[in-house]
């Protein structure tokens, strides 16, 4: 992982780019909106200061190559985020996380972003496994993961949220 630097990803309809300070309003929305966070337990960013603090933390993690975090933009508008983080010590496993503005859900945007991030993770970072933690009642997220060839890991739990279930995809199934 240490030889690979952050890069933008372009898809048919999207640009996955570096998060910028000017994204603070969308970060604030994504981290505080009740619908977006219905199934997520995480710190909010209800003020400009908290949103900018979060963006600085993300930038620091990217610079240290502890995570990859993209702003999902559609028609030059930020609509969500997607990241690879929580890398294993051997850098062969990572977790994918994502969120999307409610008004852009159901349009295939997250599936398009996820496919490109899986490709980046398997081919640029040489990951073997990518995991996804999602709430057991989050049907949209489970549908997205299954559509993209993730399989439920039976018996694995999230030590931080007992309501989460864990999915994974193996590199050999994605090439």
Domains along the sequence of the chain with CATH: 9-174 (3.40.630.30)
Predicted pLDDT at 1? 41
Q: How far apart are CA 158 and CA 143, in angstroms?
A: 19
Task: Give the model confidence (pLDDT) of 51-78 as tens digits.
Answer: 999 999 999 999 999 999 999 999 999 9
Q: How far apart are CA 14 and CA 18, in angstroms?
A: 13
Predicted pLDDT at 174? 59
Predicted pLDDT at 137? 95
Joined tokens for residue 41: 């337990």
Return the closest-CA partner of residue 138 out of 30, 27, 42, 40.
40
pTM over 0.85: yes
User: What is residue 6's DSSP assignment?
Assistant: -
Predicted pLDDT at 37? 84
The 8 Å CB, 24+ separation contacts for 88-95 are 91/1, 91/125, 91/126, 91/127, 92/126, 92/127, 92/128, 92/129, 93/127, 93/128, 93/129, 93/130, 93/131, 94/121, 94/125, 94/127, 94/129, 94/130, 94/131, 95/130, 95/131, 95/132, 95/133
Predicted pLDDT at 93? 97
CB 122, CB 136: distance < 8 Å: no
Q: Which residues of the chain have pLDDT under 50?
A: 1-3
Predicted pLDDT at 173? 64
Count of CA atoms in the C-beta half-sphere (13 A) of 151: 9
């Amino acid at each position: 992982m240490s030889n690979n630097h952050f890069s933008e990803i372009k898809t048919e309809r999207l640009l996955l780019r570096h998060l910028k300070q000017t994204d603070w309003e969308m970060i604030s929305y994504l981290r505080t909106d009740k619908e977006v966070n219905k199934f997520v337990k995480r710190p909010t960013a209800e003020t400009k200061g908290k949103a900018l603090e979060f963006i600085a933390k993300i930038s620091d993690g990217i610079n240290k190559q502890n995570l990859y975090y993209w702003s999902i933009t559609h028609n030059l508008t930020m609509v969500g985020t997607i990241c690879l983080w929580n890398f294993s010590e051997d850098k062969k496993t990572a977790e994918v996380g994502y969120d999307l503005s409610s008004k852009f859900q159901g349009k295939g945007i997250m599936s398009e972003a996820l496919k490109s991030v899986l490709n980046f993770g398997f081919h640029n970072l040489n990951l073997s496994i990518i995991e996804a933690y999602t709430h057991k009642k989050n049907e949209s997220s489970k549908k997205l993961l299954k559509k993209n060839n993730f399989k439920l890991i039976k018996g694995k739990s999230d030590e931080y949220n007992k309501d989460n279930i864990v999915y994974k995809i193996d590199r050999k199934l994605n090439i």
